[in-house]
Amino acid sequence: MKDIRDSLLFEFSWEVVNKVGGIFTVIKTKAPVTSQEYGNRYYMVGPYNHSQASIEVEEADPITPSVNQAISAMRDEGVHVITGKWLIEGSPQVILFDTNCKVAKERLNEWKADLWKKASIPSPSDDGEMDAAIQFGYLANWFITSLNTFCPSPIIAHFHEWQTGVCPVLLNRAKVEVATIFTTHATLLGRYLCAGDTDFYNNIKYFDVDAEAGKRGIYHKYCVERAAAHSAKVFTTVSNITAYEAEHLLKRKPDGILPNGLNVKKFSATHEFQNLHQESKMKINEFVRGHFYGHMDSRFNLDDTLYLFTAGRYEYRNKGIDLFIESLSRLNNKLKMSNSPMTVVAFIIAPAKVNSYTVETLKGQAVIKQLRDSVNYISSNISNNLFESACRQIVADPASLISPENKILLKKRVLALKRDTLPPIVTHNMQDDFNDPTLNQLRRLHMFNNDDDRVKVVFHPQFLNANNPVLGLDYEEFVRGTHLGVFPSYYEPWGYTPSECTVLGIPSVTTNLSGFGCYMEDTIVRPEDYGIYIIDRRLKSVDESINQLADCMFTFCRKTRRQRINQRNRTERLGDILDWKRLGIEYVKARHFALSRAYPESMAILEIPENLDQSLNSDGKISRPMSAPGTPPPNKIDNNATSNAHENDPNNDPSSEHFYSNLLAGLTMNLELPGVKIQDDEDDDLRPPINLKMKTPSRSPSGYSSVE
């Protein structure tokens, strides 16, 4: 019988030291809390990508002797394996299998035949991604099977997404004693179906999944994903909406939900993140001056300008870019009809195929830089002249402070601001301009950044970075400088973009078809009070959803500056409920449940503490944080007496206490959110409470089903 208190955790993902998409953010930000929980018994496993691993991995042998022995045995057989520590927060150990090594290439066809024989999963000869997934799966299976033969500790293997799905299938067919977990962050078929013009959620029960996967040429990948979901001891997804999708497309109801979190870094004073917002906004202002030079009339005042944005993969329909643009057009009409003094600049940040920056975009930034340099030069001269006059006890005539040469220079710079063309709606030269859906929709709606438009649009078809010659901001810095993030997605299993906005204190718009939106809707009473606006795309028609979004943005535009500041304070406080220190508990429960299925006899001897899942009080409110002591009473407390009472408590079994203190190490939950819900935006309290509607937990782990 194995001691599960000494279990080894292996987390498999295609994005370990290999940035591809959102799962990279999940595993990287979760690493610190998992490393604190498991220490040297935690390993991340992924494919070897030389370009990234060479600069992000400090090579070293695995610390666990049995793991090192299994890796050495594979190396002796000619498998190229890189081990070491990933140079990120938490410094987790990593194992990277080279799918391009000689052994993997030579045995590929053998493994393809074996996969068909054991699991009836086909593998075409012209799909490199499938080949790599098979090679990685067999190498991972080789490693786990070898490790299991002589490792005295239980093994937990957590697999993310279909690319790692071959291994759990093989482990299940061979009946290897391993606690396996498979997490789908988005079903492959669901993403393809939503990208097309289908009423996905209303027809999800009626799809012929095999036929639909075959039509789209992904049947073999779909087979891997479905087989992995059915082979794992525990099957999980990242949100309720994805669980509903997986139940119908993968034909297995998930055992639990593992929401995606972030590492939340709180500021010691509330005003600090507001200052960062102001600093970043000034940098965006500078870009706007250059982009809209020559058209910044009296109505286009940057003090009365709001910055809205959407960002993410360029999935025009799935990410709701179509809905965002249509609602911007209606918002423009509303602002015109109400004679609002506000101007909205809406940014669309989504990577598309481009050639280079447009001449107009570069020229605008150059003209404004030249103007600023000239004004600084003239200001310096005026300052010197004023100072010299004052030193001679003469009050200078203001008209004489600026020289004729400087007057001419300033006039030249002002004249250079004139232009006959409208500000461009896109910053780059697109490779397929005439067929780009975003540009075509903007043209159809006549959104050309006219002077009388109250909504201006800037399509930036590249991700942001600080070295950008036009908009030189990192993404996080850009988000901090905006006022509202808008993400009206039709298909969004979780949604890191609104999560990041929340942590940075920026209000956001999401939908009830996104995992983040569903989570907030289930967690917060009136989330709109805290800057989380949820658009109904499930029960409303498209036109009704567009109107709801336009009304939401119009209401936001009518807020005063004071109201927006108070709302940002509330939004920033929501970061606590998105912290891995809290959401990481769900991963703990999933692993606990997988162990109970894989090692039932070992789990049976453990006494589960009564308070394992009691993060909530009996009234449904979140309790005080375990890390923060309450206010001490006036009388001095006898610490020795308290300590003795704790030691004499019959419920404190040393072995179980050690196990669960280790299990929850580093997962102290900052859940102190007391108080009465604020109703008025104008309230002077900058630390308003958050009214949470949390379900009282069951005694079983996380409400996971105990039925196979």
Lowest-confidence segment of 85-99, 379-393, 452-466 by average pLDDT: 379-393
Average pLDDT, the chain: 86
- Report d(CA 45, CA 29) in Å as an integer: 16
| Other CB atoms within 10 A of residue 606 CB | 18
Residue 683's pLDDT is what? 42
Over residues 456-484, the pLDDT tens digits come to 999 999 999 998 899 999 999 999 999 99
Residue 337: Cβ-neighbour burial (10 angstroms; 0-12, 13-18, 19+): exposed
Q: Does the fold of domain 270-357+424-576 match that of domain 1-263+579-631+662-708?
A: yes
Residue 31: Cβ-neighbour burial (10 angstroms; 0-12, 13-18, 19+): buried
Residue burial 183-216, b: 16+ Cβ < 10 Å; e: rest: bbbbbbbbebbbbeeeebbeebeebebeebbeeb
Q: How far apart are the first and last CA of the chain?
A: 22
Residue 268's pLDDT is what? 60
pTM reported for the whole predicted model: 0.82
- Report d(CA 107, CA 139) in Å as an integer: 11
pLDDT band with cut points at 50, 70 and 90 for residue 22 = confident
SS (H, E, C) 525-584: CCHHHHCEEEECCCCCCHHHHHHHHHHHHHHHHCCCHHHHHHHHHHHHHHHHHHEHHHHH
pLDDT at 264 > cutoff 90? no
Given the candidates 3.40.190.10, 3.40.30.10, 3.40.50.2000, 3.40.1710.10, the CATH classification of the domain at 270-357+424-576 is: 3.40.50.2000
**What's the mean pLDDT in 2-11?**
91
User: Nearest Cα to 678, choosing from 526, 501, 509, 488?
Assistant: 526
Enumerate residues 6+ apart whose C-beta is below 8 A from 340: 334, 454, 557, 558
**What's the mean pLDDT in 117-129?**
94
Task: Look up tokens 């809406």; give the residue.
Answer: 346
* Under 8 Å between Cβ of 300 and 291: no
**What's the mean pLDDT in 435-448?**
97
Lowest-confidence segment of 52-61, 585-594, 597-606 by average pLDDT: 597-606
Over residues 212-240, the pLDDT tens digits come to 999 999 999 999 999 999 999 999 999 99
Over residues 551-592, the pLDDT tens digits come to 999 999 999 999 999 999 999 988 889 999 999 999 999 999
Enumerate residues 6+ apart whose C-beta is below 8 A from 679: 529
Over residues 666-703, the pLDDT tens digits come to 333 333 322 223 334 444 444 445 555 544 333 344 44
Cα 494 to Cα 487, 497, 519, 532, 604: the distances in Å are: 12, 9, 9, 15, 35
- Report d(CA 259, CA 261) in Å as an integer: 6
User: Nearest Cα to 531, choosing from 495, 549, 561, 505?
Assistant: 505
Over residues 139-173, the pLDDT tens digits come to 999 999 999 988 989 999 999 999 999 999 999 99
pLDDT at 50 > cutoff 90? yes
* Under 8 Å between Cβ of 566 and 507: no
pLDDT at 386 > cutoff 80? yes
Architecture (CATH level 2) of domain 1-263+579-631+662-708: 3-Layer(aba) Sandwich (3.40)
- Kindly state the DSSP code that residue 692 receives in the 8-state scheme: B
| Other CB atoms within 10 A of residue 387 CB | 10
Dihedral sign, Cα of residue 576, residue 56, residue 37, residue 628:
negative
Cα 151 to Cα 7, 68, 196, 682: the distances in Å are: 10, 11, 48, 62
Q: Which structure tokens are listed for 82?
A: 């890189």
Residue 21: Cβ-neighbour burial (10 angstroms; 0-12, 13-18, 19+): middle
Q: Which structure tokens are listed for 589?
A: 């429960």
Hey, where are the domains in the chain? 1-263+579-631+662-708, 270-357+424-576, 359-421
* Under 8 Å between Cβ of 394 and 319: no
String of DSSP letters for 458-491: EEE-S---TT-SSS---HHHHHHH-SEEE---SS
- Report d(CA 170, CA 120) in Å as an integer: 12
Angle, helix 515-523 to helix 496-503, in steps of 10 degrees: 50
